[in-house]
Amino acid sequence: MPANLPPQAQALWVKAQDAKTPDEKLQRLQEFLSAIPDHKGTEKLRHQVRHQIAVLKEEIEEAKQRRKGTGVSYLIEKEGAAQVALVGAPDSGKTALLKRLTGVAVSSSSLPFETQKPVPGMMRYEDLLLQLVDTPSISLSQSVYTTRAAATARNADVLLLVVDGSQPAVPQLSLITDVLERYRVHLRPIKAQVKIEKRSAGGVQVLATGRPVCTSAEVVDLLKQYGLQNALVVINGPAELDDVEAAVIQGLVFKPSVVAITKLSQTDDADAVFSDVKKRVAPIRVLDAEAHDFSLRLGAEIVSAAGIIRVYTKSLNDKNRSARPLVMKKGSTVLDAVRVIHSAMLSTFEYARVWGSSVKFQGAKVGLEHVLNDGDVVEIHG
């Protein structure tokens, strides 16, 4: 996407962001789309705006139906330790997987596009609950269903890419990748990440690492063209000005993923299929959905991909740890754990004792800055 759209298009984008109602925003986005120059360099931008328009239309229709008392919401609120969106082509086996892993009673057949809205279910992995969400099958020709699937994927913490092992895998993987990237969802880390945080004052501040191609002055000028006078812009990697513009319109998102291959028993050479898929999606982990330990391995991969750890608490002089863990982000410290337990404990904190892999000996005394590992037990002293 080239930076510096025509002033007319930039002005229409600003108007769209200032819209007071969904209907007004829809009209402004449609005007903005018509003002974008139609050439190959703006193809991704035009598709991206069409996606926003499609989502907005569906939200408006949902609101109308809810007012009538007949509406169905397609937004699945997050529950459990992580939300995992199942994404795949028609008849890939997503719905059957959801039913098997969560016990949710959903109809499952070989009919294409049988799932027309996201369907959630809870899967237990050890002492965690993970939320799996079946999505409509993606297809280049089914925009309404694909929009719902992509919106769920953008909202999820992890993606479970479901591939039918009895059918050629490459076209399925290409479809999943192409469709998600059209909706600004990437399956591999983005080389240049740009985050823009709007602020009420202070002008435009640019914090950059990784040798961006564009200058801070160019970023400030671009944001002002889009009506952003106050913002914090964080750039990681060799970002160009068009990467910044993409973040202004709608940022790229990276979603960690796991691949599950279904129906491998229905193919003549399951090992070859598995090996081929593994090679093509590396370093994304690949699992055989028919393996006896699939649910256990899937749970471990989801926890790893989501970047979460389990931290247990222990009362003073109590031999047993808490039954339920604190679910925290990888890299969390004792300070983070204390804040989750009760921030008032910070005022009296003296030290913590930790049992687990993050310490050299069990029950070691540590301070607030100590980084915790999965499975650690923490006892707060104060």
At residue 66 the predicted structure's pLDDT band, cuts being 50, 70 and 90, is low
What's the rounded Cα separation, in Å, for the pair 335 and 370?
8
- Enter the tokens of residue 364: 């070691």
> Strand 83-88 relative to strand 128-134: parallel, antiparallel, unpaired?
parallel
**Residues 98 and 170 both lie in one domain:** yes
Is residue 320 in some structural domain?
Answer: yes
**Cα-based distances in Å from 37 to 41, 44, 48, 205:** 9, 12, 14, 30
- Give the other-Cβ count within 10 Å of 56's Cβ: 17
- Range 322-333 average pLDDT: 93
Is residue 66 in some structural domain?
Answer: yes
**Residues 109 and 238 both lie in one domain:** no
Which of 11, 5, 15 lies closest to 36, judged by CA?
5
- Mean pLDDT of all residues belonging to the chain: 87
At residue 57 the predicted structure's pLDDT band, cuts being 50, 70 and 90, is confident
Residue 2 has pLDDT above 50, yes or no: no
**Residues 162 and 109 both lie in one domain:** yes
**Residues 143 and 114 both lie in one domain:** yes
**Residues 113 and 143 both lie in one domain:** yes
Position 7 scores a pLDDT of 81
Residue 71 has pLDDT above 60, yes or no: no
What's the rounded Cα separation, in Å, for the pair 338 and 349?
9
CB 131 within 8 A of CB 120: yes
Position 76 scores a pLDDT of 84
**Residues 317 and 195 both lie in one domain:** no
Q: What is the SS3 string spanning the chain?
A: CCCCCCHHHHHHHHHHHCCCCHHHHHHHHHHHHHHCCCCHHHHHHHHHHHHHHHHHHHHHHHHHHHHHCCCCCCCCCCCCCCEEEEEECCCCCHHHHHHHHHCCCCCCCCCCCCCCCCEEEEEEECCEEEEEEECCCCCCCCHHHHHHHHHHHHHCCEEEEEEECCCCHHHHHHHHHHHHHHCCEECCCCCCEEEEEECCCCCEEEEEECCCCCCHHHHHHHHHHCCCCCEEEEEECCCCHHHHHHHHHHCCEECCEEEEEECHHHCCCHHHHHHHHHHHHCCCEEEECCCCCHHHHHHHHHHHHHCEEEEEECCCCCCCCCCCCEEEECCCEHHHHHHHHHHHHHHHCCEEEEECCCCCCCCEEECCCCECCCCCEEEEEC
Position 43 scores a pLDDT of 76
The CATH number covering residue 321 comes to: 3.10.20.30
Determine the structural domain holding residue 369 and report its residue range.
Answer: 308-381
**Residues 179 and 260 both lie in one domain:** yes
- Top pLDDT among 271 and 37 is at 271
Q: Could you say which of 285, 306, 327 is where a domain stops?
A: 306
**Residues 53 and 201 both lie in one domain:** no
CB 125 within 8 A of CB 76: no
Position 128 scores a pLDDT of 95
Which of 233, 308, 371 lies closest to 80, judged by CA?
308
- Range 126-136 average pLDDT: 95
Q: Could you say which of 251, 270, 286 is where a domain stops?
A: 251
- Give the other-Cβ count within 10 Å of 153's Cβ: 27
Residue 333 has pLDDT above 80, yes or no: yes
**Residues 50 and 195 both lie in one domain:** no
Is residue 172 in some structural domain?
Answer: yes
**Residues 262 and 360 both lie in one domain:** no
What's the rounded Cα separation, in Å, for the pair 39 and 334?
53
Residue 190 has pLDDT above 90, yes or no: no
Residue 1 has pLDDT above 50, yes or no: no
**Cα-based distances in Å from 293 to 127, 281, 290, 359:** 17, 22, 8, 31
Single pTM value for the model: 0.74
Q: Could you say which of 230, 251, 272 is where a domain stops?
A: 251
Angle value at C-alpha 298, between 161 and 76, nearest 5 degrees: 60
Is residue 38 in some structural domain?
Answer: yes
**Cα-based distances in Å from 346 to 68, 315, 343:** 50, 16, 6
Number of domains in the chain: 4
CB 135 within 8 A of CB 85: yes
- Enter the tokens of residue 205: 């501040």
Is residue 137 in some structural domain?
Answer: yes
**Residues 312 and 302 both lie in one domain:** no
Is residue 78 in some structural domain?
Answer: no
Is residue 336 in some structural domain?
Answer: yes
Share of the chain above pLDDT 90, in %: 51
**Residues 285 and 354 both lie in one domain:** no
Residue 145, judged by CB atoms within 10 A of its CB (0-12, 13-18, 19+), counts as buried
What's the rounded Cα separation, in Å, for the pair 52 and 63?
16
CB 123 within 8 A of CB 171: no
